[in-house]
Structure 1
Amino acid sequence: MPSRTAPRRRPRLRHVCVAAGLAAAACLTTLQPAGAATADGDRDLHRRLDRLVATPGGPPGVIAVLRDEKGSRVLRSGTADLATGRPPGADDHMRVASVAKAYSGAVALSLVDRGVLGLDDTLRDRLPRLPAAWGKVTLRQLLNHTSGLPDYTEAPGFIAAVTADPHHHFDSRRLLDYVAGDPLRFRPGSSYRYSNSDNIAVALMAEQATGSPYERLLRSLVYRPLALRDTSLPQGYRLPSPYLHGYDVTPPAAPEDISEVLSASGVWASGGIVSTPADLNRFVRPYAGGALFGDRTVREQRRWREGASEPAGPGRNEAGLALFRYTTRCGVVLGHTGNFPGYTQFAAATPDGRRAITFSITTQTNKTQKPELLRQLRAVQEDFVCALLRRKA
């Protein structure tokens, strides 16, 4: 539920961006001291977080969860809620943005692993109601963003609906209708282009193959096996309490809470999942570590090609199937990023799944809206990856 400590007003929608797929803006800055550091290395990491929060246009809050063989460390700076000043918590709910694409990847690849779906299954075979011109697109191409599908979040009709009513309830299974009259951007498999339409189609293929709603597949194939108790895929705009408040930070304007400004129905399998830093960390370790599938499926998932996540993660980015490889100066982690009005996310793990990091900030950051902040963010994320990889077991 929204904070009741201050009157709410109709949110400003100064920009429309594609990121996780919806209309958005950018937000604030306030600085609250970080918690006591446990070691010199952690003190330095805390200072990096403090500087990120203090940056003009930077996030009001940031929280990172690092897990290795010794257990979990939680580092944070700023606040989860400007109205109360409380610090960010590992059990605070938040929008995971396009990291939700990893969850649809987990569902689809679990079905591939069981022989229910095939990576070479086409839209023509599985979803014949979609435009015939899209028919040759395969599940593999959807998962690695080489499908060429036009991005529905860029469609004028979709943008108009969101702008007119940010709480508009979309029929999530008809989102591709907004671009049904558009041609493919390129021949399937010939190029890379990140598209929110891809993972909508992935979820629809999973539903067609099983006869079960995508939400039920998430519960049976992802939430339950991984004991994710604080993860969900809502249709509305409300967030469960407690939650990290997401803000529009556009100095010199005052910060604006936009945590509940948009309906998740408009992004669904492409960006609608709500989780917590702790639950997200529980997910990314086995997912990126290859524990959810057999070796053959993992090998297919890790066939890398040129392509960056959105926003780009730390280091050099390469695309696999609903997974990205981030090659940093200290080593490699696998995972996904995302941004949504009020939130920017990074979740990754070592290829063996033994170590994982989630890094969440409470303002939207991408190459279009805040390129300088994104550069700073990626540098800080890389420092945290190095801390994760260098720590002695």
Structure 2
Amino acid sequence: MNRLSSFFIFCSGAVNSVLRRCPTDYIKYQGIGATILFTGIFSAISAGYALYTVFQSYVASLFFATLWGMMIFNLDRYIVSGMRKKDNFFKEMAMAAPRVVLAIFIGIVIATPLELKLFESEINAEIGMMQQETYKKQDDLLNKRYEAEVKVVNDEIILLRNKLNKSDTERTIRTSEALAEADGTGGSKIRAMGNIYRAKAKAAEKAEQDYQMAYTEFNPKLDEQVAKLKAIEERKSADLKNLNRAALTGFASRLKALQRLTSTEEAIKLAGFFITLLFLIIECSPILVKLISERSPYDQRLDTLETEYHLANLKNTTISKLATDSQLTFENKTAGFRVSEMINAENEIFAHALREEKEQLMGKKEGWFALLRKRRIFDF
């Protein structure tokens, strides 16, 4: 067996010392190991692209992508090596169900960043549209913020201009009538007719005076309002420049763009579905191989070793328990015997003391009755 085959078997999580006794299972576990290895590589590539969109650094992306790929590789290796072929298919399914769910999540995590890379040009175009929408919302909010103030100033400007225009129109009409009366083209049709001309000339002169008065009164106010409007526009322009116009280059923005594309573009939605399905199949394939394959010599040999280990462990546990029980029984009996002997010894000592006291009492001259009255029989 060459080094590549040995490496694939290592990737599968198989016990090499057991697999050597089952050469018919070499191909099976080499295939499982290769699948686990390529899943780890795909996950590292996927994580590298996703992390680069966050850190914008090749070194950081490479470092964390390697860690992520190794973690997924080790997790897949553990999932597959932890499965055991049993004689009951439903028990195998119940045992494999949590691992299948975990494999599905891993497959989705791997597939999503690769989808972002595969549809990069479409996503960039969608991000451009999202940026324009964001800018428009910002502009609308800014315009709404200044809308009332601008309206007040514009209304005042319109009012002042209307007053000036009205006065100017009146002046123009009166001047035209006076000129027409002077040259005989209007009014009485007589050139420079005395009273009529003088009346119209006087009206034109008054209209000129009214206009000059209106101009003197309203033009400064108009200039003031125009200056105020200009100041408002300058403030609005300054606020517009200070708005956050940062480009949407983050990972979340790309995910949102992909979501918008899949909701509107059926082709991208279908392609994304099949890409995700492909990685789900790749991720679940080692587990599926374990489930659909027959119980192999490797599985039987591994069960035998595990059974022997459990029996040996049970034997050691039983022996240890029996030894502990025997020790406890011996200690209990010894303690009981010791207590019994101590009680007997104390009884003998007490009996001996009573005998000595009795002999002392018998030797005294006072009678028993007197001693009882004095309560001194046991007066030591």
TM, length-normalised to structure 2: 0.21
- Structure with the larger RCO, 1 or 2 (CA within 8 Å, 6+ apart): 1
Q: Relative to total residues, which structure has the larger helix share, 1 or 2? A: 2
TM-score normalised to structure 1 length: 0.20
Structure number with the higher strand fraction is: 1
Larger Cα-atom Rg:
2
